[in-house]
Amino acid sequence: MNPLAEILPATVATAVRFDDEGVGPLHPDEEPAVAKAVATRRAEFTTARSCAREALAALGAPAAAVPVGEKRSPVWPDGVVGSITHTAGFRGAAVARRVDVRSVGVDAEQHGPLPDGVLGAVSSPEERAVLARLGAEHPDVHWDRLLFSAKESVYKTWYPLTGRWLGFEEAVLTPSPDGTFRALLLVPGPVVDDELRAEFHGRWAVCGAHIVTGIALEAQG
C-alpha cells in the first residue's frame, strides 16, 4: 500500500517504505547531513533518500543525490519539485516535474493524539473549536494530529515558493471528513502562474498506524 499515491494526483510520483531493511548506501553528497547522527537518525534519513531516488526513477528523472539545503529542505534535480517525510515506521517521498506541479508537500505522522500542550501551540481557538466538533462526529480520527500534519505539508509546499518561514499561526487549517483540507494563508501568499495563492488545498488519509497529508500545486493552463 502506498498512501501518498492515494492522496496526490497522477502527475506526482511517490515511494514509501515501512522499515529500513535492505536500503543501499547514501550518495556522497548526502553523507554530510548525517555524518554525526545517531544510528536511528541515519537509518531513517538513508531510507527516506532511497524513497526519493525510487520516486525520481518512477518519474523518469535521474535517480540523483538529494542533499540537504537551507532550512533542512531537500535539494532536487533541475526541473523537479518534491518533498520527503519520515516518522517511526514510515518513510516516503513525492516528486513531480516542475512543468506539471509547481510545488508539493507531504507529511506522515503517528495516528495518535498530540502530546500535551502541542495543540495549543500550533492552533488557534477557532481551529480547536472545529477539531472538537469533528472529534465528536468522527471519533476514529485524531484530528489534532491531522491538523499538525497538514500544517507541516503546508509549510513544505510554501517554502520552495517563497524561501521564507511560515509559522503555525500564519495559516488557518480546516480539515474535512471527506479526506480533504484547506489552508487559508494569513500572510501574503506566493504568486504561482501569475496568480496570488491565498490558500492551499490538500488531501489526507489514515493508513494503519499513520496519518498522511499532501498538497500538490498543479500548473495552471
| pLDDT, tens digit, 9 for 90 and up, residues 19-28 | 999 887 899 9
Mean pLDDT score, 103-122 = 97
List, in order, residues 6 or more apart from 31 with CB less than 8 Å away.
none
Mean pLDDT score, 92-98 = 98
**Confidence bin at 71 (pLDDT 50/70/90):** confident
Residue 160 maps to which CATH number? 3.90.470
Are 139 and 209 contained in the same domain?
A: yes
How many degrees, rounded to 5, is the angle at CA 95 between CA 182 and CA 108? 55
Reduce the DSSP state of residue 13 to 3 states and report it.
strand
Burial-class residue 127 by CB neighbours within 10 Å (0-12, 13-18, 19+). Answer: buried
List, in order, residues 6 or more apart from 167 with CB less than 8 Å away.
none
11 touches 96 (CB < 8 A): yes
Are 159 and 210 contained in the same domain?
A: yes
**Confidence bin at 221 (pLDDT 50/70/90):** low
**Confidence bin at 211 (pLDDT 50/70/90):** very high
Task: Tell me the three cell numbers of residue 52.
Answer: 526519493
The pLDDT value given to residue 181: 98
Q: Which domain holds residue 141?
A: 107-218
Task: Tell me the three cell numbers of residue 47.
Answer: 531510507
Are 134 and 214 contained in the same domain?
A: yes
Phi, psi of 37 (to 5 degrees): -80, 155
> Could you report the per-residue pLDDT of 145-193, keeping only the tens digit for each?
999 999 999 999 999 999 999 999 999 999 999 999 999 999 999 999 9
68 touches 170 (CB < 8 A): no
Where among 68, 98, 128 does a domain terminate?
Answer: 98
Where among 71, 98, 125 does a domain terminate?
Answer: 98
The pLDDT value given to residue 151: 98
Average pLDDT, the chain: 96
The pLDDT value given to residue 25: 86
Task: Tell me the three cell numbers of residue 24.
Answer: 543501499
The pLDDT value given to residue 37: 93
Burial-class residue 68 by CB neighbours within 10 Å (0-12, 13-18, 19+). Answer: middle
**Of residues 56, 83, 28, 81, the one with CA closest to residue 214:** 83
Where among 98, 123, 138 does a domain terminate?
Answer: 98
Residue 13 maps to which CATH number? 3.90.470.20
Helix axes 143-162, 125-137, angle to 10 degrees: 130
Grid look-up 499515491 returns: 5
Domain tally, the chain: 2
Mean pLDDT score, 55-59 = 97
Calculate what percentage of the chain has a pLDDT beyond 90.
93
